[in-house]
Amino acid sequence: MKRVVVTGLGCITPIGNTVAAFRESLYAGRTGIAVFDPNMPGAIPLEKPMRFTTTAKVKGFNPTLNPDQRLTSGVIVCADSSAQFGIVSARHAAAESGLLACYDPAQIAIVTGCACGGRAADEDANRNLYLHNARVPPTAILRTMASSGSSFIAIEMGISGSVLNISTACASGTHAIGLAFQMVRAGIAPAAITGGYEAALTFGFLRAWDSMRVVSPTSCRPFAADRDGMTLGEGAAMLVLEPLEDAQRRGARIYAEVVGFGMSADAHHITQPRAEGAALAMRRALDDAVHAGIPAPAGRVGYINAHGTGTPTNDAVEAAAIHQSLGEFAPHIPVGATKSLTGHSIGASGAIEALATVLALDACSLPPTAGVGQIDPALSLDVIIGESRPLAPDKDLALSNSLAFGGLNAVLAFRRFAT
Amino acid sequence: MDDIESRIIELVAKTKGVPASNVGIDSTFEELQIDSLDKINLSFAVEEMFKIEIPDESLNSLKTVGDVVRGVESLLAAAPPDTATS
């Protein structure tokens, strides 16, 4: 078993389109959640407004004009925004790590998470077809494929190894990184580009979530006493993973070590989460850390980047899972929720939160959860609010949780890397 | 049995896939095994049928078929005539 480290990062998010900008917003508690323009493509006047008015949208992404986001017209016409976010994020991560110069492109893996595919392209084509009997563009299929982002990353970089996309709703990005970690650890792939992308903030998508009554009429406030729902978002994040010894040999910048991955299914209900399932995934991620030479990991967890959607049910169940899996340590572990800044970007959220977790370990500084006035005392969690906090010197592990609809849970365990 | 009551009982029966004869005005959601997702689906169907909007706070307090019937009657009584017709 190889030890696996993170050597490259990239992102397109509502709080920054570079890792530097994302980091700055993350620690400043600068949220990307804002009132959205209801006059979005295809929107029709509503008799009654939706229950919510805010989303977290990516701003300033222009692959035609911005040099560091440049995509050819051929790619733009065939790739929906979700894939475009993924391609550019992967490019940034790969460029930073320099992995293409060090590993055989025929062996490198690309494992991504995207749950909704090209939702905007799908709605456009179907709306015009059903309402106007319009012809469906020949690019419609390509733009709606959830896997098109991973394909375009492979095409752009000439990578011909194992390339795949995972769709497990809100856990897609975390499942993707976990699988890539297992592949690199086992030597199946010498290195991997992995993460998630999603851009589904369409009129139909928002209306569908509105009907589920789980979106906050104000703003996502995870673990707050007055939390009232999630906020939808979009974006992408990518990580480069490679073996520790190879990274050290070539002098790569190492952000953190991936030490564990745990998966589970609640096997219970399509929407109601169950604490036992999430706790099982957390325990499995910690048990997995034994392979990285960490015999008693629970006492070394100094940060949990929670799934933290801000719905009353999710946060209560996740808190129960944290207590079930970490026992006596649970009330004292700092917990944060990046969705308070980025919103919930479904298939990309786990990757964006893994990015936040890696940056936190790298800086030994834990970013605050935004928008929370009073923490829900019933949860008995040490939620980070207000200011960032230092990582305790005797703690070097962090967990990143993703708990998806359908009861699919995925948890990554990272370790601070000290040279 | 009035019209609203019978229509809601039909909806509940359809939602749970049981004969309408198994559903009564006093049936509780617990007895009918109506969970939170069923409740959202049922409320959506009721809103469509009666052209009303059930507020979130009212939704949370629904525990029986009778609660739904009374809630609908109350919302219809409060609504302007042009939107109260089904």
- The domain limits of chain B are 3-84
Pairing of strands A397-404, A301-305: parallel
| pLDDT band, residue A42 (cuts 50/70/90) | confident
Q: Minimal Cα distance from B43: which residue of A?
A: A211
CA distance A38 to A35: 9
Please list every residue in chain A whose beta carbon sits closer than 8 Å to the beta carbon of residue B46: none
At residue A283, the pLDDT reads 98
A271–B59 C-beta distance less than 8 A: no
Is pLDDT at A121 greater than 90 in this prediction? yes
Residue B20 backbone zone (phi > 0: left; psi -120 to 50: alpha; other: beta) = alpha
Is pLDDT at A345 greater than 50 in this prediction? yes
What is the token pair recorded at A381?
């969690």
Closest Cα partner for A234 from A403, A117, A68?
A117
Is pLDDT at B19 greater than 70 in this prediction? yes
A272–B36 C-beta distance less than 8 A: yes
Which residues on adjacent β-strands are paired with residue A382? A334
A48–B44 C-beta distance less than 8 A: no
- The residue from A170, A175, A220, A323 that is catalytic is A170
A48–B40 C-beta distance less than 8 A: no
Residues 15-54 of chain A with CB under 8 A from chain B are 48, 51
| pLDDT band, residue A38 (cuts 50/70/90) | confident
At residue B80, the pLDDT reads 62
Contacts of A15 (CB under 8 A, 6+ apart): A21, A22, A25, A26, A30, A31, A32, A56, A341, A342
Q: Say if CB A236 and CB A85 are below 8 A apart.
A: yes
Alpha helices by DSSP H, A364-405: none
Please list every residue in chain A whose beta carbon sits closer than 8 Å to the beta carbon of residue B56: 51, 213
What average pLDDT does this structure show over A26-38?
A: 96
Portion of chain A with pLDDT greater than 90, in percent: 95
Specify whether A291 is catalytic: no
Cα–Cα separations (whole angstroms), residue A290 to A37, A261, A287, A371, A413: 49, 11, 6, 37, 11
Which residues on adjacent β-strands are paired with residue A404? A408
CA distance A351 to A7: 15
A278-290 pLDDT per residue, tens: 999 999 999 999 8
Note whether A268 contacts B: Cβ–Cβ < 8 A.
no
Looking at the complex, report in whole angstroms how far the Cα of residue B15 sits from the nearest Cα belonging to chain A: 16
* B85 vs A184, residue with greater confidence: A184
Note whether B48 contacts A: Cβ–Cβ < 8 A.
no
- The residue from A92, A175, A307, A323 that is catalytic is A307
Is pLDDT at B20 greater than 80 in this prediction? yes
Q: Say if CB A294 and CB A397 are below 8 A apart.
A: yes
Return the CATH class of domain B3-84: mainly alpha
Global pTM? 0.94
At residue A338, the pLDDT reads 98
Instruction: Fold for A4-416, please state it.
Output: Peroxisomal Thiolase; Chain A, domain 1 (3.40.47)
Burial call A149-184: b when 16+ CB within 10 Å, e when fewer: bbbbbbebbebebbbebbbbbbbbbbbbbbbbbbbb
What is the token pair recorded at A305?
């980047």
Q: For residue A254, which phi and psi values (nearest 5 degrees)? A: -110, 125
